Structure 1
Amino acid sequence: MRICAPAFAATIALSLGAGVAMPPPAAAQQVGPTIVVDVATGQVLQSDRAGAPWLPASLTKMMTAYVALSQVRQGRVSLNTGLTVSQRAARAAPSKMGFRPGTVLTIDNALKIIMVKSANDVSITIAEGLGGSVENFAAMMNAEARRLGMTATHFVNPNGLPATGQQTSARDMAVLARALMREFPDQSLLWRMPAIRYGNRVIRNHNHLIGRYPGADGFKTGFTCASGFNVVATATRGGRQLIVVVLGATSARGRAETAAGLFERHFASFGGTGVSLDSVANDTFSAPANIRDQACRRRGRGGPVYIESGEDLENEPVASATDPGNLSYAQMMAQPSAGRRSAGMQAIAAASGQVPSLLGPYRPTMDPVPVFIGGASSAPPPARAVPAAPALAAV
């Protein structure tokens, strides 16, 4: 039995407004660092280990997009500048588009592809076209990270594939998302597209809040076994926009449900911590966690399977009380204590082992955005190399 998302959202909002006691966060061991930020004010509404180092996976592509858009803003390139796929790009590990060496595509199409498809080969194409090499582009990424105050972040490549020394924090990812929204509001389509269309293929966004959670309008997901399922998400309600970062969930569904639950909690209340995002401290001494055993495993015959290609929500069961690895932190947090449940919550609790979902049926707000190959033959000479930053202590 699935619970209707709007009805459940309203129930939670009423429960929160009534001051219902919440169970302790410690019950949710499968979720890593989280943070909730008000976009307009930069105030932190909730955080849990937000400065802890974590593996970014494909959240890395947010900085790839930021550097590319910065190059456009500086007039070095335009969105119609063509980039050529190299042998190195074509050999990239999946997820990728599979373009052949010599294929040309514009920066505009390349950015749309990496933000929806999260294509590793196209990310390398952007890096080589704008930086001359992956290594030089990574230096450009790190320079922008330093300028933005992302003190726990270090990039080694433009796509987030596993690499020694690559790390970030929930706090830093919120800083980056806020910078993209504030500096490039005219490019918001990049992070709110529900899908792209390439030829006859329709490729849906891995951010499963878009089209399923009311008001969701961004941003980017990331996944490797070591990092778990990460998401930077944004949503707007009543003119108020929030950023939620969830790192280290153990399933794509748990990642999306957790983010949705955190949105519900903070759209229902204007309280906060009184702390600004910039003042959240990063841990620059520890090494990132590796949660491979939790995120990529097979648990029991016929049970849920979490594998390295596990970005597809449709392949996962609905979260259930008998499958705690697929039960999100925010879902548990949002449920009132047994003695003070409303009639609606009692009905939910009586459901046959199912955990209520905050995600409705998929209803995209726009048609798939077309992307295509072709464009100018090459980009202008790459940007000047940026001096390497001192390595973080954890690197």
Structure 2
Amino acid sequence: METKSLSILPAVLAIAVGALIPTAPSFAAPHHTAKSAAHKKSAAAAPAPAPLAGESAVAGGPPALPAKAWLLMDFDSGQVLASANPDEPLPPASLTKMMTSYLVEQALRSGKLKQTDLVSVSQNAWCRGSGTESCMYLPLNSQATVIDILRGIVIQSGNDASKAIAEHMAGSEEGFAKLMNAEAQRLGMTHTHFVNPTGLPDPAHKSSARDLAILARAIIRDSADYYPIYAEREFKYNGIKQGNRNALLYTDPSVDGLKTGHTEEAGYCLVTSSKRNGMRLISVILNTNSPQARADQSRALLGWGFGNFEKATPIQPDAVVGTAKVSFGKADTVAAGLGAPWTLTVPRGQQVQTSVELKPGVEAPVAKGAVIGKVVATSNGKPVAEAPLVAQADVERSGLMLRAWQHVAGLFGK
């Protein structure tokens, strides 16, 4: 959930202050606006949490950040490069909407939804023009296309859009929350429980920094057709233009998503993705004390990550790294190599060693591409990643007479 004010602030102001505050419509009641502005002033003036030091493989460690939890993840591998309180369940506010949008995107991808499908706005979903919550401002009993609803969720952080699509897809917010939790479980989000599609406060509605990074990674990986929406700076619907609240979209050209969040309980939160020189990093900041702080801390964490880590290619994709013995085949051995390109993100200047582990007792027939072992990468004596090794050729099963001879030869150790 995001609080909102009345006036339209130009993007240039957002760049100057490091945070964009989007517009609410002119029909929002003045007393609501005053209340919202007072709340913002109070929230912005709240004392910052104590700087929270994190853990990392880099000597000296990452910067200490004044937030309740934070994390930096390498997109390609899912490796956590640095973190503090990564698994503490905390209120995620509108970061929740990443799961809402992800489910919409996957339904579009599978054909369960079409971009032009119409979504109805019920009494429950409708925003009443209050300046105290973020809305797409869908008219009551109106209909909007799925693609407009998706933009309303991602860019405008619309609670009304989130509720409307939840009712459209699952009949109710409660039904949609079941879909959200099932998907969270599938993705491996082990410290998350969703109660609603918006992030509006509920004691049981929680997620962790690690889980939100896992979700962000899934969105980038699985929603290629729709991920560019997360970088769009504004969206106009029903005559109301609102700006994306992710201030880094206006100040850092390497940033292309993902989502902001704020409630009084959750503080100011931000999940960010940035790609520089072929390396993409995902940062998560939870519960800091202002829009400026969440932007500054994200910027600092990403800058530290890109400055201290680099990509490494331990083994070339076409390299043969071992030879596995094959029983009862027309060939006695088969070459082992990577099935796909393999890159790691490691501390700058740190050497990477590899060791090959091949399966014993490989028996024909062996299909090209079948997993026959793995390669393990280590740095400073610690495992950092591993990748499967696959057969580089087919090995047919030998005939009955040859198999009999091979069996006898095996008994005598030949």
Residue 75 of structure 2 aligns with which residue? 39
Decide whether aligned partners of structure 1 residues 139 and 199 sit closer, same or farther in structure 2, where only a CA change above 3 A counts: closer
In the aligned structure 2, how far is the partner of 1:38 from the partner of 1:24? 17
Alpha-carbon separation, structure 2, partners of 1:245 and 1:193: 20
Judging changes above 3 Å, is the alpha-carbon distance between structure 1 residues 254 and 109 closer, same or farther for their aligned structure 2 residues? same
> C-alpha offsets along residues 258-277 of structure 1, whole Å, 9 cap, x if unaligned?
000011111112169xxxxx
Instruction: Please say if residues 45 and 271 of structure 1, whose CA atoms lie closer than 8 Å, have aligned partners that are also in contact.
Output: no
Post-superposition offset of 1:220: 0.2
* Aligned-partner SS, 1:161: coil
Whether 1:156 aligns to 2:192 is no
Q: Please give the per-residue CA displacement for 1:266-300, whole angstroms capped at 9, x wherever unaligned.
A: 1112169xxxxxxxxxxxxxxxxxxxxxxxxxxxx
Relative to its length, the structure with more strand (as a share) is 2
Task: Tell me the CA shift for residue 239 of structure 1.
Answer: 1.3
- Map residues 228-267 of structure 1 onto 2, 5 A cutoff: 228-267=267-306
Q: CA deviation at 1:201?
A: 3.5
Supply the distance in 2 between the matched residues of 1:98 and 1:199 (Cα, whole angstroms). 7
Residue pair 2:127, 2:135 contacting (<8 A) in 1 also: no
Answer yes or no: is 1:173 the counterpart of 2:209. Answer: no
In the other structure, the counterpart of 1:133 is 172
Closer, same or farther: CA 73–237 of 1 in aligned 2, 3 Å: same
**1:190 alignment partner, SS class:** helix
What are the superposed Cα offsets for residues 169-196 of structure 1, whole Å, 9 maximum, x if unpaired?
A: 0000000000111111121122111111
The residue aligned with 1:188 is 227
1:106 equivalenced with 2:145 (yes/no): yes
Structure 1 residue 21 displacement after superposition: 6.4
Amino acid at match of 1:103: S
1:156 deviation in Å? 0.6
1:114-133 paired onto structure 2 within 5 Å = 114-133=153-172
1:274-313 equivalences under 5 Å are none
- The 2-side partners of 1:40 and 1:182 are apart by 9
Q: Are residue 72 (structure 1) and residue 108 (structure 2) matched? A: yes
**Over residues 334-376 of structure 1, what are the superposed CA-to-partner deviations in whole Å (9 max), with x where a residue is unaligned?**
xxxxxxxxxxxxxxxxxxxxxxxxxxxxxxxxxxxxxxxxxxx
Distance 1:202 1:101 in 2: 19
Q: Which amino acid aligns with 1:143?
A: A
Q: Deviations over 1:133-152 (max 9, x none)?
A: 11101101111001111111
Give the Å deviation of 1:85: 0.3
Asked if structure 2 preserves the Cα contact closer than 8 Å seen for 1:217 and 1:234, the reply is yes
* Cα offset, 1:45, TM superposition: 1.0
- More RCO (CA 8 Å, sep 6+): 1
Cα RMSD of the aligned pairs, angstroms, is 2.3
Q: 2:275 and 2:307 mapped to 1: Cα distance?
A: 12
Look up the match of 2:181. 142
Give the one of 126, 130, 154 matched to 1:90.
126
TM-score by length of 1: 0.61
Deviation of 1:164 after TM superposition, in Å, equals 2.6
Amino acid of the structure 1 residue aligned with 2:250 = G
Alpha-carbon distance between aligned partners in 2 of 1:91 and 1:253, rounded to the nearest angstrom: 27
Residues 207 and 220 in structure 1, CA contact (< 8 A), matched pair in contact too: yes
- Aligned equivalents of 1:55, 1:141: Cα separation in 2: 15
Q: Max radius of gyration: which structure?
A: 2
Q: 1:91 to 1:192 in 2, by over 3 A?
A: closer
- Residue 138 of structure 2 contacts residue 238 of structure 2 at CA under 8 Å; is this kept in 1? no
Alignment CA distance shift 1:54-1:23 (3 Å) = closer
Three-state SS of the structure 2 residue aligned to 1:233 is strand
Spell out structure 1 runs of 4+ moving beyond 4 A: 19-24
Q: Answer yes or no: is 1:53 the counterpart of 2:92.
A: no
State the one-letter code of the partner of 2:211. D
More deviation, 30-39/87-96: 87-96
Identity %: 39
How much has 1:33 moved relative to structure 2? 0.6
Secondary structure in 1 matching 2:95: helix
Alpha-carbon shift at residue 101 of structure 1 (Å): 1.9
